[in-house]
Structure formats: C-alpha cells, structure tokens
A and B are shown apart, each in its own frame.
Chain A
Amino acid sequence: KAGVTQTPRYLIKTRGQQVTLSCSPISGHRSVSWYQQTPGQGLQFLFEYFSETQRNKGNFPGRFSGRQFSNSRSEMNVSTLELGDSALYLCASSHGTGGEETQYFGPGTRLLVL
C-alpha cells in the first residue's frame, strides 16, 4: 500500500499571503488529522476530518481551516500568514473508527513565512 503523501513538500510565502496544503491518505483510510510541528511548541493537533466532516479541532485561530473530499484527500488552508506560522505541517491518516487507532504520518510540508 502506498503511504500518506503530502504536497507540496516545501513552500516559501510572505506575511499576509495564504497557503493551501494537500494530503492524500493511505487507501481505505477515511480519517485525516493535521498537526503543526515547531521546535518551540512540538507537535500540536490542528484538526481532524472524517467523511468530509470536521470532527475535532485543536486550539488554533480561525485562520487555519481545512476540508476533506469524497476520496478522503484533505487540504488545509492558512490565511493571512504570520511569521509564527513557519513550521512543518504533518498530516496523518487512520481508519477513523476510534481514537485508539494507529495514525500514519506523511512526510510533511515545510512552510517558511518571510
């Protein structure tokens, strides 16, 4: 089975711009979770999507949003970028039937905001 894929792998943006990141889960997985990884804050949960619905959300401002398509692919969007949004954005997929399921991570998108 192919693993979780993310595109693009690297992005450079300037403050005030917006960005869209994409995640394709493992075939058959219906849940996609997004995480932000920074040296200072570690791995922080952004949100989770299952069957095109956001089921759970972390403590991030409304500038961070996402969606999921019928094929389970997910996108996250960050609007009005700030310098502090520079991070590695990771998505993880699972079957989505329970919180104790194994999550498999993608390679991440490294975002640099200048």
Chain B
Amino acid sequence: GENVEQHPSTLSVQEGDSAVIKCTYSDSASNYFPWYKQELGKRPQLIIDIRSNVGEKKDQRIAVTLNKTAKHFSLHITETQPEDSAVYFCAASKKTSLTTDSWGKLQFGAGTQVVVTP
C-alpha cells in the first residue's frame, strides 16, 4: 500500500523567514495531495491541496509543488508568522474505479512541528 514519508519532524524558523516541508510517496497511482494544519487541541484543517495534473499551486503565503517523476511534494510557507506555529501533515490518496481500496482513505505523513519564534 501507499507509504508517505515526511521531513523534517520539527522545524524552527524566525518570524519572517520561509519554511519548507517535504514529503515522498510510494504509490505512483496517488493523484491527490492535501496538506493539513493542526493546532494544539484542534482539528486538522486543510490549508492547500494539489492534484497530479498540476505541478504547483499557490495561495497567498502558502505554496505546494509536486514532482510526479520523483514522487515527492513540498509545502512552502513564506514570511512566516507566529500563528503559523502548528503541526503540518501531508497526505496522499488516489482515485480508482477498478478497486475500492482507495475509497475515503488518506495516507498521512508523520507530521512536522513548526515553531515560529518572534
């Protein structure tokens, strides 16, 4: 089955600097890659996602890049702010009409604890 690896496990950045989190996946059939942010005691919140027919997507200070050949995708946060401090999870899923083993399943990375210091 799909395996998603995420690095680094912790990331400390100064306010205003950029943060980059990288994920690799194993199943070449995966075609949907969301990123979730989870603040302490809160639910995971989708912050951005990318589909396999797109190489890059940007939303204000957040961007995601996808390299299908290398099977890796990355989250980039620019001009970090203290409110960006949280755990970030990457995930992968696939859509197939041939089997049901992908339905409703997100395979998550282990998470990255991001700390933004003022």
Cβ of B20 < 8 Å from any Cβ of A? no
Listed stretches B63-71, B78-86, B96-104; interface member:
B96-104
Q: Verify A102–B105 contact, CB threshold 8 A.
A: no
Within 8 A of B (CB), among A58-109: 58, 90, 92, 94, 96, 98-108
Chain B's interface size range is 20 to 34
Cα A35 to Cα B111 in complex, Å, equals: 15
Cβ of B3 < 8 Å from any Cβ of A? no
Cβ of A43 < 8 Å from any Cβ of B? yes
- Across the two chains, which residue of chain B brings its CB closest to A45? B105
Q: Which B residues have a C-beta under 8 Å from some C-beta of A?
A: 31-32, 34, 36, 42-46, 49, 51, 89, 91, 93-96, 100-111
Q: Which A residues have a C-beta under 8 Å from some C-beta of B?
A: 4, 31-33, 35, 42-45, 48-50, 55-56, 58, 90, 92, 94, 96, 98-108
